[in-house]
Amino acid sequence: MVSCLLSGANGVADALFTTLFPSDCRLCGSPLVNISRLPVCDDCLSAMPPIAGELCSTCGERLAGSLASVQSEALCGLCRRLEPPYVKATAYGSYEGGLRELIHLLKYDHVHPAAKVLGRMLAEAVVDLQPLFGDAELCVVPVPLHARKFRERSFNQAELIARAAVKLMTETGRFRLCPNILERCRETESQIGLSRHQRRENMRGAFTVAKPGEIAGRDVLLVDDVMTTGTTVSECARVLRRAGASKVYVATVARTLKAEAQGVKLRPESEATTMTMAAAG
């Protein structure tokens, strides 16, 4: 009798453990050897490295060639032609492979423990911006979802990631999460297949600042999970600046990098410090 009870209890415990702690990695399918609520193995997590190589000093786009020996800051072609409304954008990794799948686990499969790992990556990306920050507290603003999309998903992945990152960065006392500053007041079409001009028009008027008094004269750290073309964060930064934000910085977990590196121009602009490199490939 006792053995039957123990067997039944063990069966319940095994079923509960399997539910709470999946046995196989959701990315590679390998058995998980460590107890974790995140169904991703250590090997897959370690295979998500930070972005390497030469990047635009403003938007973080990939640049051609090596500028390691050059002291000036390098700009991509787009930032040369049009200065972004934010001071600088940074991202942890490239939006591909395991990192892309991990973000999808959070966004589409509702695997919320992934937000903690993605938040750590975001906090690492923010380190690249720290030398530019002043002494005042920064308002951390996640890019919002439209109300209908939020009802469908029941959460905003950018806010979950930002919340996890702020917890890691609270030691400095310089970051405060402000999740209700921006509102997405208009639904937008999919950006896939649109030209850069069409993307800008698609995003125009999509965001509004609900509480301008909270950001007036303050520096803002705008946060999102992925930066693709930069259209969304640029529109958010424009709206925040128009509402009174002093400076806007952008940090994302991942960004889409162009397959071919761009030619670059060095800052400050002069004949002596201008260099154009051929695209990679």
Domains (range + CATH), the chain: 85-260 (3.40.50.2020)
Indicate whether 2 pLDDT > 50. no
Q: What is the pLDDT of residue 68?
A: 39
Place 1 in a pLDDT band, splitting at 50, 70 and 90. low
Name beta bridge partners: 250.
Answer: 89, 222
Indicate whether 107 pLDDT > 80. yes
Indicate whether 80 pLDDT > 60. yes
Tell me the average pLDDT across 218-238.
95
Count other Cβ atoms within 10 Å, centred on residue 48: 23
Radius of gyration of the chain (CA): 22
Is the whole model's pTM more than 0.95, yes or no? no
Q: What is the pLDDT of residue 190?
A: 63
Query: Which of the residue ranges 2-11, 136-145, 201-210, 237-246 would you say has the lowest mean pLDDT?
Result: 2-11
Three-class SS state of 89: strand
Tell me the average pLDDT across 21-46.
89
Give the C-alpha separation, 110 to 38, whole Å: 11
Indicate whether 170 pLDDT > 90. no
Give the C-alpha separation, 22 to 32, whole Å: 8
- 140 phi/psi in degrees, rounded to 5: -90, 115
Rounded mean pLDDT of the chain?
Answer: 83
Tell me the average pLDDT across 259-269.
49
